[in-house]
Structure 1
Amino acid sequence: MIDKLELFMALARERHFGRAAEQCGVTQPTLSAAIRQLEDQLGVMLVQRGSRFQGLTPEGQRVLEWSRRIVGDARSMREEMRAVRRGLAGHIRLGVIPTALSMVPRITAPFREKHPDVTFSIGSNTSLQVLGHLENFEIDAGITYLDDEPLGRVTSVPLYSEHYHLVTVAGSPLADRESVTWSEVAELSLCLLTADMQNRRIINHHMAQAGVSPEPTLESNSMIVLFSHIRTGRWASVMPRRMADAFGTSDDIRTIPIDDPTATHRVGMVVTHREPYTPLVTALLLEVRRLAEDQAFQ
């Protein structure tokens, strides 16, 4: 039944029989047959069918919740038994908000030293994508904001707080200031993250508090794109100081604290709340908690 539940979860995630089948590496008839067999075993209809996928029935929604628990527990059991046989090995999938990508090596590098048979894949995601991917077992852990928006049923480990700075080049407006206000920043030609990013919603919120509204002339979901445009001297941006430092400060780059008000927002790791955790997630949480206690990292 586990295999059928995994196929059902893929269908619920993709909302399309063909895409779900392709995602699972099976043919569409195989997936459709598995869903029907699951319905026969449970005695309820799970999927509203027509000429195309039309959604889950109320019973299907409830079975989806059970599927996530059962499949998650089965995967945890398999991974634990593999760790017993061969030691800690496997692959960890991380979803990370763009402003936190620069600190990920502080976790992955020492983890790999301790567990050389573990590999990583790291994706840049919005905060909402991080939570959605966790729920659908598409990632093992996420690094995201812990404040402002509901996290749902997760275990979280705070890592650090973001402190926001104006990032600009020498000789540009406000570049010689010791600090600036949000209303002053709003007057500049800005490049900012796109509106689907929580960082952008945070910036919008603080500017609204100051009675202004940002009108960026360039938006991107990539911090590299933003920093590249800052270097041209035609744009400025708002970034956490930690992120700006990761690109390497130089004589021509200025990072200026933004006050009135001074804004900080917590960032940390989140994993699906489940006991027991897989050995990989348990080891990852241990490493993250060690880093969180490192005062030099704060």
Structure 2
Amino acid sequence: MQAADLAIITALESARSFTSAARQLGVAHTTVSRKLKELEDHFGTRLADRRDDGVVLTPEGERLLESARRIETELAGLERDIAGRDHRLTGHVTLTTVDALAWLYLPTLTQFRTRHPQIELALEVTAEPRNLSRREAQVALRATNAPDDHLFGRQLGSLDFFPYAAANLADLGPEMPWLEYGGTDCSQPAGRWMRRNHPLVRPGASLPTPLMMFRAVAGGLGAGLVPSALAETAPGLVRLEETPAFSIGIWLLTPMELRQTARIRALFEAFAGSGR
């Protein structure tokens, strides 16, 4: 048995099916079944049961899951500690962020690549935040007002959300169609603002991210709350109020163990002059 084999148990616990676990691990369905059988033969006991509601770990499987997570955490810490001692301006850096911030900071990333061609930069744009502690990425560019306190971070600025509309809609008054956020960190503060300022309005569409909201508002689909940093790139948009509806901080974050790594420091320095 190898430490990597224990990933089968953690994947089955979270996915609750062999097919989903295989997809999560990037292997074939038969590989998950075979590896589980090998683990059960090694320990001499059943580790998981197939039920109508999915795969469920046995008590022995739960004990192995606890050990697997502990080993995974220790290996991740060891890897970060070793990486943190690397003082070379080479190697790989994975930066995870959301679409709006990727779009806004693309010039900064371009300058970084030009200045440090020996550093391989991978940009992951996803709606779901990656777990830095579990090595899913080394650096995160996040919009948040509550950054994780176990991470090293620098606030780059903030996204200030104002109500905007396309010029042809700006004078419609009560008849103006409105858009809302759905399923993002923006949905709660945006929803509170809408209830205070337009309690009788029923939004006509829901957008998943600030960048999608910006594109929809700029396209004339309706009025909505858009970060001013995005809206200022579209001259045809009209700001409907001069007071921001809400603001969200922009943070660059990395695990504490990596903050002294040369390539991570170089990336932080590149962002230092890119406040919003």
In which range does the TM-score fall when normalised by the shorter chain?
Answer: 0.7 to 0.9
SS at match of 1:120: strand
In the alignment, what sits opposite 2:129?
130
Contact kept in structure 1, 2:213 and 2:225, CA below 8 Å: no
Encode CA deviations 1:55-99: one digit per residue, 9 max, x unaligned: 585535533531431342454478679x78x961235141x2344
In the TM superposition, residue 130 of structure 1 has moved relative to its aligned partner by 0.4
Aligned mates of 1:109, 1:20 — CA distance in 2: 36
SS state at 1:50 partner:
strand
Partner of 1:164 in structure 2?
161
- State the partner residue of 2:180: 192
CA distance in 2, matches of 1:278, 1:40: 44
Q: State the distance in 1 between where 2:29 and 2:71 align.
A: 20
Instruction: Kindly indicate whether the alpha-carbon contact (under 8 Å) linking 1:76 and 1:277 is maintained by their aligned counterparts in 2.
Output: no
Q: Is the 8 A contact 2:181 2:207 kept in 1?
A: yes
Contact 2:7 2:68 in 1 (8 A): no
Q: Quick check: 1:263 aligned with 2:246?
A: yes
How far has the Cα of 1:227 moved from its partner?
Answer: 3.6
Tell me if structure 1 keeps the 8 A contact 2:184–2:208: yes
CA distance in 2 between counterparts of 1:141 and 1:45 reads 41
TM superposition shift of 1:234: 4.6
Tell me how far apart the structure 1 counterparts of residues 44 and 269 of structure 2 sit (CA, whole Å): 44
Shift of 1:54: 2.0
Deviation for aligned residue 1:138 = 3.4
Measure the CA separation in 1 of the matches of 2:149 and 2:194: 27
The yes-or-no answer on 1:275 pairing with 2:257 is yes
Q: CA separation in 2, counterparts of 1:152 and 1:59?
A: 29
Give the conservation status (yes or no) of the 8 Å contact 2:151–2:253. yes
**Structure 1 unmatched ranges of 5 or more:** 176-183
Select 2:69's aligned residue among 65, 72, 79: 65
Contact in 2 for aligned 1:11/1:17 (Cα 8 Å): yes
Percent sequence identity over aligned pairs? 14
Question: What amino acid is the match of 1:124?
Answer: T
Q: Alpha carbons of 1:162 and 1:77: their partners in 2 closer, same or farther (altered >3 Å)? A: closer
The separation in 1 between residues aligned to 2:245 and 2:149, in whole angstroms, is 28
Displacement of 1:105: 1.5
Q: Which structure 2 residues correspond to residues 195-206 of structure 1 after superposition, within 5 A? A: 196-206=183-193
Q: 1:173 to 1:114 in 2, by over 3 A?
A: closer
1:100-179 equivalences in 2 (<5 Å): 100-117=101-118, 118-125=120-127, 129-131=128-130, 133-134=131-132, 137-147=135-145, 151=148, 153-173=150-170
The structural deviation recorded for 1:238 is 0.7
- TM-score w.r.t. the length of structure 2 is 0.74
Distance in 2, matches of 1:239 and 1:28, equals 43
Q: What code does the residue aligned with 1:116 have?
A: P
Contact 1:193 1:220 in 2 (8 A): yes
- Between the two proteins, the alignment pairs up a number of residues equal to 270
Relative distance call for 1:285 and 1:188 in structure 2 (3 A) is farther
Shift in Å at residue 198 of structure 1?
A: 0.6
Q: Hey, what's the Cα distance between the residues in 2 that align with 1:39 and 1:156?
A: 43
Distance, in Å, in 2 between the alignment partners of 1:56 and 1:146 is: 39
**Would you say 1:291 and 2:271 are equivalent positions?**
yes
Q: Unaligned regions of 5+ residues in structure 2, if any?
A: none
Over the aligned positions, Cα root-mean-square deviation in angstroms equals 4.0
Structure 1 position 207, deviation (Å): 3.5
